[in-house]
C-alpha cells in the first residue's frame, strides 16, 4: 500500500491540471458542507517532499468552508469529508497560490496536503456543549452562587494543551454566575458534585468566539476541558 506522501505524488503527476483527492480514512462523523466552520489538522508539502506548514505541535486550524478564507483547493477539496476522516489533496498552482511565491512556497507550485477533519460546526446551529462524565462525585450539584475550587486541563480538539491548573498545582476558584469565565466552562461546571470529573467539549461560540484570544487561542477554536471539582462551598 502506498503511504500518503507517495499516494499524493502519484495523483499529482497524473494527467490533467486539476484538483485531485484520495481519502485514506473515511470518517464516520458529520459531513463538511459549504458554510460550515470546519476544524482540521494538516500537513503541507511540495512535490520534492519539503514540508512548508503543518499543525503538528500546534492548535488545529478552523475556517468557514467555501467562503474564500483559504486557497481554492481547500474550499473545494475539504467538501464532503466526514469527521474522523483523512484526505490527501493534490493542488495544481491554479488551486493554490498560482504565479505568486508565498514564504517557502515557490511560484507555480503544486501543493500536497494531508488533511484530517476534526470537527464541523453547522452554520446557524444552536451551540451546545458536550459532556462526558468521568466520575460522579458526591453531594449536591453545583448551582449559581456556589463557590467551586476546580482543577482543569484545557486542550484543543487535536489534543494540544494550552493551559492547566494541575501544572501550577493550584486550584481555580469560580463563583458560578459571577466569575467572568467563558460560557461553556460555566455550563460544564453547573451540576457537578464535589469530587466529580467531566470532559467538556465547548464549541467556539461558547468559548472565545470568532476572534479567539490571541496569541494562545486562535479564531473559532472549540475547546476541551477536563474538569475536576475539588471543593464546593454553597452560596
Q: Which of 22, 25, 52, 162 is catalytic?
A: 162
Tell me, yes or no, if 61 is annotated catalytic: no
Tell me, yes or no, if 42 is annotated catalytic: no
* C-alpha count within 13 angstroms, C-beta hemisphere, residue 33: 6
Tell me, yes or no, if 146 is annotated catalytic: no
Tell me, yes or no, if 121 is annotated catalytic: no
Tell me, yes or no, if 97 is annotated catalytic: no
User: In the chain, helix, strand, coil percent, each to 5?
Assistant: 15, 40, 50
Q: Which of 25, 53, 71, 163 is catalytic?
A: 163
Q: Which of 42, 156, 204, 225 is catalytic?
A: 225
Task: Name the grid cell of 80.
Answer: 464532503
Q: Which of 152, 156, 185, 204 is catalytic?
A: 152
Dump strand ranges (E) for 128-196.
130-135, 147-156, 161-164, 172-175
What are the C-alpha distances in Å from 187 to residues 113, 146, 155, 182, 190?
Answer: 37, 13, 17, 9, 5
Q: Which of 63, 202, 208, 232 is catalytic?
A: 208
Closest CA to 92 of 34, 3, 16: 16
| Beta-carbon contacts of residue 194 (< 8 Å; ≥ 6 apart) | 137, 138, 139, 229, 230, 231, 232
Q: Is the dihedral of CA 23, 93, 104, 36 positive or negative?
A: negative
Given a contact cutoff of 8 angstroms between Cβ atoms, the answer to whether 141 and 192 are in contact is yes
Q: Which of 52, 181, 182, 226 is catalytic?
A: 182
* Dist. CA 28–CA 185, nearest whole Å: 27
Given a contact cutoff of 8 angstroms between Cβ atoms, the answer to whether 150 and 229 are in contact is yes
| Beta-carbon contacts of residue 185 (< 8 Å; ≥ 6 apart) | 152, 200, 202, 225
Active site residues: 152, 162-163, 182, 208, 225
Amino acid at each position: 500500500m502506498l503511504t500518503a506522501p507517495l499516494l499524493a505524488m502519484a495523483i499529482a503527476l497524473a494527467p490533467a491540471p486539476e484538483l485531485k483527492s484520495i481519502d485514506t480514512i473515511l470518517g464516520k462523523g458529520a459531513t463538511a458542507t459549504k458554510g460550515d466552520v470546519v476544524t482540521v489538522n494538516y500537513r503541507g508539502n511540495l512535490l520534492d517532499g519539503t514540508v512548508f506548514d503543518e499543525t503538528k505541535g500546534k492548535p488545529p486550524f478552523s475556517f468557514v468552508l467555501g467562503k474564500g478564507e483559504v486557497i481554492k483547493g481547500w474550499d473545494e477539496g475539504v467538501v464532503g469529508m466526514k469527521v474522523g476522516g483523512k484526505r490527501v489533496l493534490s493542488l495544481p498552482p491554479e488551486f493554490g497560490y498560482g504565479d505568486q511565491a508565498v514564504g517557502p512556497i515557490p511560484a507555480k507550485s503544486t501543493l500536497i496536503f494531508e488533511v484530517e477533519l476534526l470537527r464541523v460546526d453547522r452554520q446557524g446551529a444552536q451551540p451546545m456543549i458536550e459532556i462526558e462524565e468521568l466520575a460522579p462525585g458526591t453531594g449536591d450539584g453545583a448551582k449559581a452562587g456556589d463557590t467551586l475550587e476546580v482543577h482543569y486541563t484545557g486542550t484543543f480538539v487535536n489534543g494540544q494543551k494550552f493551559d492547566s491548573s494541575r501544572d501550577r498545582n493550584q486550584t481555580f476558584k469560580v463563583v458560578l454566575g459571577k466569575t467572568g469565565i467563558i460560557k461553556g466552562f460555566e455550563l460544564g461546571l453547573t451540576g457537578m458534585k464535589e469530587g466529580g470529573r467531566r470532559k467538556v467539549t465547548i464549541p467556539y461560540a461558547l468559548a472565545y468566539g470568532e476572534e479567539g484570544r490571541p496569541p494562545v487561542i486562535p479564531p473559532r477554536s472549540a475547546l476541551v476541558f477536563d474538569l475536576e471539582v475539588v471543593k464546593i462551598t454553597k452560596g
